């Protein structure tokens, strides 16, 4: 994938994340604040770095990104729609980008 295409996808994702953050859900706002604080403290990788890892291993269109703090661990849950129609749900360690789990489902049109 070209650098320009990756930049376009990252820009699209940034717009989508901003739209989601603007919503009324309090939990979403707390997740956003927690992610920002963890990033500033050097506890997690920037989302851009996480998405580069995902794109390398699971090419396709990122549909959803969630940041979570569970049992003391920072996680990213990311859904990717791959070109062959497979939806992959990934869970990554936000500290180092390690893929902790990958589940997929094939969607027929």
CATH class of residue range 3-106? alpha beta
Confidence of residue 5 (pLDDT cuts 50, 70, 90): low
Question: In this predicted structure, what is the pLDDT of residue 32?
Answer: 80
Q: With 60 as the cut, is the pLDDT of residue 13 above it?
A: no
Mean pLDDT (whole number) for 1-26: 54
Mean pLDDT (whole number) for 21-30: 53
Q: Could you tell me the pTM of the whole model?
A: 0.69
Six-digit token string for 25? 């859900």
Question: In this predicted structure, what is the pLDDT of residue 96?
Answer: 97
Cβ neighbours of residue 2 under 8 Å, at least 6 residues apart? none
Q: Quick one: angle between helices 3-21 and 47-57, nearest 10?
A: 130
Mean pLDDT (whole number) for 63-79: 93
Mean pLDDT (whole number) for 85-93: 94
Q: With 60 as the cut, is the pLDDT of residue 67 above it?
A: yes
Question: In this predicted structure, what is the pLDDT of residue 77?
Answer: 95
Which DSSP string do the residues of 90-105 spell out, in sequence order? EEEETTT--EEEEEEE
């Amino acid at each position: 994938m070209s650098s320009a295409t990756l930049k376009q996808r990252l820009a699209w994702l940034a717009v989508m994340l901003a739209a989601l953050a603007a919503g009324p859900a309090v939990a979403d706002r707390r997740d956003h604040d927690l992610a920002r604080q963890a990033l500033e403290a050097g506890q997690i990788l920037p989302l851009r770095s996480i998405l580069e890892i995902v794109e390398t291993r699971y090419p396709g269109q990122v549909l959803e990104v969630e940041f979570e703090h569970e049992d003391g661990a920072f996680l990213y849950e990311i859904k990717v729609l791959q070109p062959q129609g497979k939806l992959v749900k990934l869970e990554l360690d936000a500290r180092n980008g390690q893929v902790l789990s990958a589940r997929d489902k094939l969607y027929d049109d």
